[in-house]
Structure 1
Amino acid sequence: MPQRLPLFPLGSVLFPGLVLPLNVFEPRYRSLVQDLVAGAEDLESEEDVRGFGVVAIKAGHEVGEGNVSALHAVGCVALVREVTETEDGRYELVTVGASRFRLVGIDDAAGTPYLTGLVEPFGDDDEEDDDSDGRLTVLFDAVSRRFDEYREVLDIGGAQVPDDPRVLSYLVAAAMVLDTEQRQRLLEAPDTVTRLQAELEVLRREIALLRAFGAVPATELPEWPVSN
């Protein structure tokens, strides 16, 4: 049965495990933060967190009320780690991507100024990756090598590349210079093997193009949390 989840539509894609800082200034999303803060008082311990759904907008920067067709079908839960209220009423958030979800509808009866989605779990986030045939290990090694090469071409600095295949797959998806549609396809990959295979193909193509025509401006790896 679908669960209710506050939604924060963005023009970008959030991946599990990645840190997403947000500067919240629109009144409806300030209300979302206020609801999360008020609801946190009911949590059993300070270690518990509340979150909202980050879902990418298909085009433009705004989503009309109840217009689920303007949003991609798969998003990522953002767990709130830090909330800072500024003197002018804005909120500065530090969030971390958690599990993926599929957006099946909008709860029009929620009565919130922000969108409240009806969502279901998506993908293999809570399952252990199967490497019984060794394919996952082979892909992990290949993507690691290609990603190192990609970073060298672009002069990308930042965090150490993780040694967990799933973590690597999400980090590569977030770190590559891709458009929103490409990132969304990687978010929607059903499992780690499929995601790594797609990334290997993209890395090979991008490295060839970069070596042939020059590099894009240097960037850094997105921040990866020390712990969840």
Structure 2
Amino acid sequence: MTDRLPLFPLTSPLFPGLVLPLNVFEERYRALVRDLRALPEDTPRRFGVVAIRNGQEIAPTGQEGRATGPAAGLGDDPLAALYGFGCVADVADIVDSGDGGFRMHATGIVRFRLLSVDASGEYLTAEVEELAEEAGSGADELAPQVTRAFRTYQKRLAGSRERSLAAQEFTDDPTVLSYLVAATTIAEAAAKQRLLEAPDTAARLGEELRLLRREVAVIEKLPSLPAVELTQQAICAN
């Protein structure tokens, strides 16, 4: 299924099921949010989130000759500047921030393949193809291994012994688990993007298991590491 959506390029990918808080202050994205808010109440307010491969999230300012349009910061070919896969986001709420901007929360709902980008309007729009969720072979067997590895990873980050932390409940759904781990594991954008682009849940879980084991091995070699709180902060980018 293909669709045309407003597009939010960000520095890291969004995953299905995860909440995305945004502080919207650039005029191109204010226009996007105004258009979303103007839709009829019974119409889904959706946009596409895609990570930037080469470029800047915020438009450059104060430099003569730099672009200031909808593709500012992404060069002459925004399609080439963006990764080829993203996530559809469904708006939960939009609040005026008092300075002409907005605060907005949205939730990732489905992955897509990016087919084309249009920079002719006030903001970027894109033609996208939604991707079906496939379990793949071995997802049920991999899920408990990833859960154990992720527990160990969290405890090593917190600098705590395993027996000193209360047990944490994790979902039994392998696909939901794969996206939770992808979103909350601390990794560079390219690594997270690979997880988003995995062909199915089993492939994503297998990649996560390798990533978590590698990260735990690195952490254990460090003399000390400050506790890390795995919370999601509002992205002040657009």
- TM-score of the aligned structures, taking structure 2 as reference length: 0.81
**What are the Cα deviations for residues 64-115 of structure 1, in whole angstroms up to 9, with x where unaligned?**
465210000000011100100121111000111110111111235xx52111
**What are the Cα deviations for residues 178-206 of structure 1, in whole angstroms up to 9, with x where unaligned?**
00000000000011000000000111111
1:208 aligns with 2:214: no
1:140 aligns with 2:133: no
Instruction: Tell me which moved more, 210-219 or 194-203.
Output: 210-219
Gaps of 5+ in 1: 224-228
Asked whether the 8 Å contact 1:24–1:90 carries over to 2, the reply is: yes
Residue 55 of structure 1 is matched in structure 2 by: 50
Residue 121 of structure 1 is matched in structure 2 by: 130
Residue 193 of structure 2 is matched in structure 1 by: 184
Distance in 1 of aligned mates of 2:139 and 2:152: 20
Report SS of the residue matched to 1:151: helix
Amino acid at match of 1:81: A
Report SS of the residue matched to 1:15: coil
Cα 1:116–1:51, aligned 2, differ >3 Å: closer, same or farther?
same
Amino acid at match of 1:140: A
Please show how residues 165-184 of structure 1 align to structure 2 within 5 Å.
165-184=174-193
RMSD: 2.3
Asked whether the 8 Å contact 2:17–2:107 carries over to 1, the reply is: yes
Distance in 2 of aligned mates of 1:50 and 1:160: 32
Distance in 1 of aligned mates of 2:206 and 2:111: 19
- TM-score of the aligned structures, taking structure 1 as reference length: 0.84
1:106 aligns with 2:117: yes
Please show how residues 1-228 of structure 1 align to structure 2 within 5 Å.
2-39=2-39, 41=40, 43-44=41-42, 49-61=44-56, 62-64=73-75, 67-107=78-118, 111-122=120-131, 124-125=132-133, 129=135, 135-155=138-158, 160-214=169-223, 216-222=225-231
Work out the percentage of aligned pairs sharing the same amino acid.
Answer: 47
Cα 1:90–1:55, aligned 2, differ >3 Å: closer, same or farther?
same
